[in-house]
Amino acid sequence: MKNAKQDKARCVKIEAIREAAFIALGAEKPNTCPTCTRAKDSPFFRADERGNGIAGCVDAFHHDAILIGERARWYQREAAQEIRAANLKFLQAL
Protein backbone atom coordinates (compact mmCIF):
# COMPACT_ATOMS: atom_id res chain seq x y z
CA MET A 1 0.00 0.00 0.00
CA LYS A 2 1.26 3.45 -0.84
CA ASN A 3 1.65 6.19 1.71
CA ALA A 4 -1.72 6.89 3.35
CA LYS A 5 -0.75 10.46 4.31
CA GLN A 6 0.18 11.20 0.71
CA ASP A 7 -3.15 9.80 -0.48
CA LYS A 8 -5.07 11.84 2.11
CA ALA A 9 -3.30 15.02 0.94
CA ARG A 10 -4.14 14.11 -2.65
CA CYS A 11 -7.82 13.67 -1.76
CA VAL A 12 -7.89 17.03 0.03
CA LYS A 13 -6.43 18.70 -3.10
CA ILE A 14 -9.04 17.06 -5.34
CA GLU A 15 -11.84 18.24 -3.08
CA ALA A 16 -10.37 21.78 -2.98
CA ILE A 17 -10.28 21.92 -6.79
CA ARG A 18 -13.89 20.78 -6.95
CA GLU A 19 -14.92 23.31 -4.30
CA ALA A 20 -13.22 26.12 -6.25
CA ALA A 21 -15.06 25.04 -9.41
CA PHE A 22 -18.44 25.20 -7.69
CA ILE A 23 -17.61 28.63 -6.26
CA ALA A 24 -16.53 29.87 -9.69
CA LEU A 25 -19.81 28.63 -11.15
CA GLY A 26 -21.80 30.15 -8.32
CA ALA A 27 -23.25 26.75 -7.55
CA GLU A 28 -23.73 24.96 -4.28
CA LYS A 29 -21.54 21.90 -3.81
CA PRO A 30 -23.69 18.76 -3.65
CA ASN A 31 -23.59 16.44 -0.63
CA THR A 32 -23.15 13.37 -2.80
CA CYS A 33 -20.21 11.80 -4.60
CA PRO A 34 -19.73 13.00 -8.21
CA THR A 35 -18.84 9.44 -9.24
CA CYS A 36 -21.25 7.10 -7.45
CA THR A 37 -23.84 9.71 -6.30
CA ARG A 38 -23.86 8.19 -2.81
CA ALA A 39 -23.36 9.87 0.57
CA LYS A 40 -19.84 10.53 1.87
CA ASP A 41 -19.96 7.70 4.41
CA SER A 42 -21.63 5.19 2.09
CA PRO A 43 -19.63 4.72 -1.13
CA PHE A 44 -20.88 2.27 -3.74
CA PHE A 45 -19.50 -1.19 -2.97
CA ARG A 46 -20.23 -4.71 -4.19
CA ALA A 47 -18.76 -7.94 -2.85
CA ASP A 48 -18.78 -11.53 -4.05
CA GLU A 49 -20.36 -14.39 -2.11
CA ARG A 50 -17.25 -14.63 0.11
CA GLY A 51 -17.35 -10.94 1.01
CA ASN A 52 -14.40 -9.93 -1.15
CA GLY A 53 -14.74 -6.57 -2.89
CA ILE A 54 -15.33 -6.80 -6.62
CA ALA A 55 -16.47 -3.25 -7.43
CA GLY A 56 -16.73 0.03 -5.62
CA CYS A 57 -16.26 3.75 -5.68
CA VAL A 58 -12.76 5.04 -4.92
CA ASP A 59 -13.49 8.74 -5.44
CA ALA A 60 -11.66 11.24 -3.23
CA PHE A 61 -15.06 12.44 -2.00
CA HIS A 62 -15.10 9.50 0.44
CA HIS A 63 -11.60 10.11 1.87
CA ASP A 64 -12.74 11.09 5.35
CA ALA A 65 -15.51 8.51 5.67
CA ILE A 66 -15.09 5.87 8.33
CA LEU A 67 -14.79 2.69 6.28
CA ILE A 68 -14.08 -0.65 7.92
CA GLY A 69 -13.28 -4.16 6.79
CA GLU A 70 -13.35 -4.99 3.11
CA ARG A 71 -14.68 -1.53 2.18
CA ALA A 72 -11.64 0.08 3.78
CA ARG A 73 -9.29 -2.37 2.05
CA TRP A 74 -10.98 -1.71 -1.30
CA TYR A 75 -10.72 2.06 -0.90
CA GLN A 76 -7.08 2.04 0.25
CA ARG A 77 -5.65 -0.56 -2.13
CA GLU A 78 -2.81 0.57 -4.37
CA ALA A 79 -4.92 0.58 -7.56
CA ALA A 80 -7.45 2.90 -5.91
CA GLN A 81 -4.72 5.29 -4.84
CA GLU A 82 -3.35 5.29 -8.39
CA ILE A 83 -6.81 6.19 -9.70
CA ARG A 84 -6.99 9.15 -7.31
CA ALA A 85 -3.47 10.23 -8.32
CA ALA A 86 -4.47 10.18 -12.00
CA ASN A 87 -7.65 12.09 -11.19
CA LEU A 88 -5.69 14.82 -9.39
CA LYS A 89 -3.24 15.07 -12.30
CA PHE A 90 -6.17 15.44 -14.72
CA LEU A 91 -7.89 18.12 -12.61
CA GLN A 92 -4.68 20.10 -12.20
CA ALA A 93 -4.19 20.10 -15.97
CA LEU A 94 -7.59 21.73 -16.62
SS3 call for 72: helix
Distance in angstroms (rounded) separating the CA atoms of residues 52 and 73:
10
Encode pLDDT of 13-60 as tens digits.
999 999 999 999 999 989 999 999 999 999 999 999 999 999 999 999
pTM, entire model: 0.88
Mean pLDDT value of segment 1-15: 88
- Reported as a pLDDT band with limits 50, 70 and 90, residue 89 is very high
pLDDT for 1 equals 52
First to last CA, the chain: 28
On whether the CB atoms of residues 62 and 43 are closer than 8 A, the answer is: yes
* CA 58 and chain centroid, separation: 4
